[in-house]
Structure 1
Amino acid sequence: MKKVAKGNFGYIEYNRKFAAIRTIVALIICLIIFFTGLIIYHSNKSAFSIIAALGCLPTGLSAVNMIMYMKAHPCSKEAYDIIESHRNGLLIRYDLEMTSYEENYSIAAATVLDKNVVCFTENKALDVANCEKHIRNQISQSGYSNYTVKVFKDINAFCTRLDQLEQIRKSKNIDPQAIEDSWVPGTVETCALVLLSVSL
């Protein structure tokens, strides 16, 4: 199973499988340790039981992580193919699941260019206004104020906006990938990196 980097298409699907396998393996190890102690000492009052119980902590965390990925909404292959046909020189991030105390915000695809954050969601139940507010709050904490944030549910409207941004990119000779590549760890993250940081 080839690892999929955060922000790439297929990230959520990869982590669903990885988290499920990790959780099952961790659970099996805990059970093996527990039953080994039970067989050897004919009692659950042994060091094996303590080790197995301690092993349940990371197993539980892994299970919670797995559930979060299972509830997330990844970008569909159909939407991905359409978006890629309009990508051109833009930097598109996929499979962003943003969490907050109130709710989760599923972003299938997002791009950042020239003080514009443009996103697409396939989650029809998503509260777009709250999602836009959440993204605006998150990026403003890193110093990105006066940014326009727009979340689309209509893929055609999203792709039309991508085409408009591509014209801006060409006219201003902006290279989004070069901007990301030039980021130095330890310095303020780029706006696109902030979106990745606040996602699962």
Structure 2
Amino acid sequence: MNKVYKGDFGHIFYQRKNAVIRTTIMGCIILVLFIAGLIIAGSNKNIFSIVAALGCLPMGWSVINLIMYYRAVPLTQSSYDKIKDHAGSLYVIYDLSLTSEKSTFNVGAITVLGKNIAGFTEDENTDIQDCQDHIKHQISLSKYHDYSIKIYRNVDDFCKRLDELEKLRKDHNIDPKELESLWTPGTIQTVPGILKSISL
């Protein structure tokens, strides 16, 4: 199974599979250790049981991780195909699940060009205004201000916005992918970098 990095289409499905495999393996190891301890020692008071009990901690984390990825709403293939046709040379990030204290915002695709942020969600439960406010707050922590942020529910409307931004990119000869690749670790993150870092 080829690795799908955060921000790439299919990341949520990839992480779901990883979480299932990891949790299943951990569960089997814990069960085997516990049963082996019972057979060898004749009771649950043995080193195998202790190791099995300690193994429940990382397995618990893995189960929580699994639940979170299954609650996330990934971008559908049909929407991805449409968006890809309109993205041009824009830097588009896919399958983000942005978490706040009160809610989770599932953003299927989002792009940043200059001080323009445009995103698309297929999650009917996502509060658009809260999502936009959350993004605005998160990027402001790194001193990014006065950004125009718009999250769309209709994929065709989002694609129209991508067309506008692609024209703007061409007119100003901007290469957002190259700008992102030039970021140096240890310096202030780019806005796309922040969006990926605050996502599940």
Q: What is the TM-score normalised by the length of structure 2? A: 0.99
CA distance in 2, matches of 1:2, 1:178: 24
CA distance in 1, matches of 2:119, 2:175: 19
CA distance in 1, matches of 2:115, 2:178: 16
What's the CA shift string for 1:120-148, capped at 9, x where partnerless?
00012211000000010011111111111
What's the CA shift string for 1:52-108, capped at 9, x where partnerless?
000000000000000000000000000000000001110110000001111100000
What's the CA shift string for 1:156-179, capped at 9, x where partnerless?
110110000011101111001111
The alignment status of 1:28 with 2:28, answered yes or no, reads: yes
Q: Which runs of 5+ in 1 are unaligned?
A: none
SS of 1:122's partner is coil
CA distance in 2, matches of 1:102, 1:61: 21
Please give the residue correspondences for 1:101-120 in structure 2 after superposition, counting only pairs within 5 Å: 101-120=101-120
What's the CA shift string for 1:149-197, capped at 9, x where partnerless?
1100011110110000011101111001111110000000000000000
CA distance in 2, matches of 1:121, 1:115: 20
Indicate the RMSD between aligned Cα atoms, in angstroms.
0.6
Match for 1:179: what amino acid?
L
Show the counterpart of 1:125.
Answer: 125
Runs of 4+ in 1 over 3 A off after TM superposition: none
Show the counterpart of 1:43.
Answer: 43
CA distance in 2, matches of 1:128, 1:43: 56
Q: Which runs of 5+ in 2 are unaligned?
A: none
